[in-house]
Structure 1
């Protein structure tokens, strides 16, 4: 069976996922990976439209996408991911932004193969908040400069001008400073591993819900893929072996939903 037919045996209208590439047509943004996981897991028919960061706001305004957030002064912020779903109403397709809003919409509109098993929505939402606001924080000083260096030149120039008043963190050179930074990251992963170990005996010891992958696993694996793609040698080579290989095992559990269509 072809990869395409695995996700779509008929030909329904196609969902469009707006994504931003790395140095090639490669998805890497954790929030976008999260949505791609859901689309693949639910076996929905979709295609990717690649938009470089300098073109995001103009592109999203052009298709009538709502802003993802607003600044304190009320100005809109346009970010990816965004999806356009023509299947609900062909005259007025649904256009959604913000990863969590999109996840909730896909679950409500396409309930088959749920990513929020019954009764888990609140706890999974809290888990994803923890990943974004706690687990990921010590990664940023390491990963942001490494990611910047792997983006297209035009996107790098865009970030330089956009962040003239808020410069990117300086890359950490090999040595004690970088090792110390990775040590802080590992402490957060160690803490999460202790929490997930509570599933041992009531699950497979890998996924959050016990046996079946869910939204929480996709959010965590999305961050792992960011590390793997943007820091394969200095980052993923470390993380995959932490906590008895738990994170490599999670990546393996999610691998069937990593297609980029």
Structure 2
């Protein structure tokens, strides 16, 4: 059994874009797993105790621990980072379709880098809502002190975007997703054409975070799904079978 470590929330429903990539991957591979939910301040002590590797370094050179992390009881492996988890699942639990098909590692890494490099406007729209509506107190305090300053927000209680500002920020997000849309042919079902891969989960995970922040029934969510001739609505519908939460 694999244990997936994910960020806790008020509803015990996934919301973090990075962990969603791992969750999609596990469901795609049909590997049995369970979720352990933890708060932001508990990540570092929990991962140190588990023996997980840090995923990066802070500005002062100290190790930084992030999620997702999986612990595979059957092999003893402890893997940090969603892309490394995908590689591990391909190697350890081979199937006819790989998450990262052979020969595409560099291209997929470049594609993920493109997505991640353009996500800043999305953070301004979703991070405040995640803090207000989704995460629990300990994580809300952590995100308030560590993430809000990056967006120039000093007091969440009084901060808001005007309708004009909201439209402008959503237009930036639409442009980000449009940069993916224009690289695909109209008939392409997936990023790689007819073949589903980890790249699709990287895109879908962005939508999962948007939906968690703005709400499935919101006008913002309906608007996002309508972009680019409904491509993303079709993609998310197709990926519904990989959204199970264990």
The answer to whether TM tops 0.5 is yes
- Please report how far the alpha carbon of residue 118 of structure 1 lies from its aligned counterpart in structure 2 after TM superposition: 3.1
Matched-pair contact (CA < 8 Å) for 2:43–2:66? yes
Q: How far apart, CA to CA, are the structure 1 residues paired with 2:70 and 2:78?
A: 6
Matched-pair contact (CA < 8 Å) for 1:107–1:116? yes
Q: How far apart, CA to CA, are the structure 2 residues paired with 1:114 and 1:120?
A: 11
Q: 2:50 aligns with which of 52, 63, 80?
A: 63
Q: How far apart, CA to CA, are the structure 2 residues paired with 1:187 and 1:227?
A: 15
Question: Is residue 67 of structure 2 the alignment partner of residue 43 of structure 1?
Answer: no
Q: How far apart, CA to CA, are the structure 1 residues paired with 2:19 and 2:147?
A: 22
Matched-pair contact (CA < 8 Å) for 2:124–2:151? no
**How do 1:3-14 and structure 2 match up within 5 A?**
14=1
Matched-pair contact (CA < 8 Å) for 2:214–2:220? yes
Matched-pair contact (CA < 8 Å) for 1:65–1:82? yes
Per-residue deviation, residues 211-251 of structure 1 (Å, max 9, x unmatched): 23210000100111111111122532211000111111111
Q: How far apart, CA to CA, are the structure 1 residues paired with 2:77 and 2:168?
A: 46
Matched-pair contact (CA < 8 Å) for 2:128–2:148? no
Deviating runs (4+, > 6 A) in structure 1? Answer: none
* Residue equivalent to 2:204: 221
Question: Is residue 181 of structure 2 the alignment partner of residue 193 of structure 1?
Answer: yes
Question: Is residue 92 of structure 2 the alignment partner of residue 103 of structure 1?
Answer: no
Q: How far apart, CA to CA, are the structure 1 residues paired with 2:147 and 2:230?
A: 37
- Please report how far the alpha carbon of residue 166 of structure 1 lies from its aligned counterpart in structure 2 after TM superposition: 5.7
TM-score by length of 2: 0.89
- Please report how far the alpha carbon of residue 139 of structure 1 lies from its aligned counterpart in structure 2 after TM superposition: 1.0
Question: Is residue 225 of structure 2 the alignment partner of residue 237 of structure 1?
Answer: no
1:179–1:165: structure 2 CA closer, same or farther, 3 Å change rule? closer
> Aligned residue pairs: how many?
238
- Please report how far the alpha carbon of residue 163 of structure 1 lies from its aligned counterpart in structure 2 after TM superposition: 5.9
Matched-pair contact (CA < 8 Å) for 1:196–1:208? yes
Matched-pair contact (CA < 8 Å) for 1:60–1:78? yes
3-state SS of 1:17 partner: strand
* Residue equivalent to 1:138: 121
**Long gaps (5+) in structure 1:** 1-13
Matched-pair contact (CA < 8 Å) for 1:20–1:50? yes
Q: Which moved more, 1:57-66 or 1:212-221?
A: 57-66
Q: How far apart, CA to CA, are the structure 2 residues paired with 1:164 and 1:193?
A: 30
Matched-pair contact (CA < 8 Å) for 1:82–1:95? yes
Q: CA RMSD in A?
A: 2.0
Matched-pair contact (CA < 8 Å) for 1:160–1:167? no
